[in-house]
Amino acid sequence: MMEIFVVPDAEGTGAVAAGILAAVIRSRPDAVLGVATGGSPLPVYVALAGHGLDMSGIRGFALDEYVGLPAGHPESYAEVVRREVTERLHLVPANVFVPDGGAENPDVAARDYDRAIAKAGGIDVQILGIGHNGHLAFNEPGSALDSRTRVELLTERTRQANARYFDIPDDVPERCITQGLGTILEARQLLLVVNGADKADILREALAGPVSPECPASVLQLHPHVTVVADEAAAARL
């Protein structure tokens, strides 16, 4: 089942997506949330904080992390998730997990992370954004549809898109640990949040184009419970 909500603007996407998450959290105070970084989900966290829910039993797993940033780097996803999610929503820090991009052996860290998600009982709702080239988390075009959490190379396009967050563009790492497309598909519900006219073409390709590794987000078509929340600009070509 795929349901699509179209709202006027990014703030609206945050309100609708937060409403969906709030309902899950109320019915399951120990829910496991999959949290995403990037600009699109930020209004969701802001709106969800406004619900004032008891988050003490909620667990969170991030989608991805850069490999090789110094510990505590403000743009590491560990730090972004701490600022934007854990602190804002008053999650218990020990309940929030991000792949270990500083691990001596990132391949092992990736496998351990995949296992930790399974051990937690799987993800109830996975929040997602979409990249301009159709990437989901850091699954770039060419990623196998059944891929697991693993170390990946970032494309130049993604490095450039994310350079806006870094003082020195070259500081964007070349590698990452990302949940795989197969891992993401195991979440019980997927909640895709998309804003802006620059995402209109890729959103159409993902939802209505062929299911193919060339557009990783097309795997959404394979999942039984997908909710898409888009602003009018992003939904213009649906």
Please give the residues from 143 up to 162 whose contact with ligand GLP meets the rule CB under 6 A.
Answer: 158, 162
Q: Which stretch binds ligand GLP (CB under 6 A): 13-21, 89-97, 127-135, 212-220?
A: 127-135
Pick between residue 53 and residue 213 the one whose CB is nearest to ligand GLP.
213
Pick between residue 92 and residue 144 the one whose CB is nearest to ligand GLP.
144
The CA distance from 76 to 154, in Å, is 15
Q: Establish if 36 lies at the interface with ligand GLP (CB under 6 A).
A: yes
Catalytic residues, by residue number, are 64, 133, 135, 140
- For residue 190, what are the CA distances in angstroms to 4, 36, 155, 161, 173? 12, 11, 24, 24, 27
Q: Is the dihedral of CA 128, 129, 130, 131 positive or negative?
A: negative
C-alpha Rg value of the chain to the nearest Å: 16
Burial 207-229 (b: 16+ CB within 10 A, else e): bebeeebebbbbbbeebeebbbb
Among 21, 33, 37, 114, which residue sits at the site for ligand GLP (rule: CB under 6 A)? 37
Q: Which stretch binds ligand GLP (CB under 6 A): 98-106, 114-122, 125-133, 182-190?
A: 125-133
Contacts to ligand GLP by CB under 6 A:
36-40, 63-64, 129-131, 137-138, 158, 162
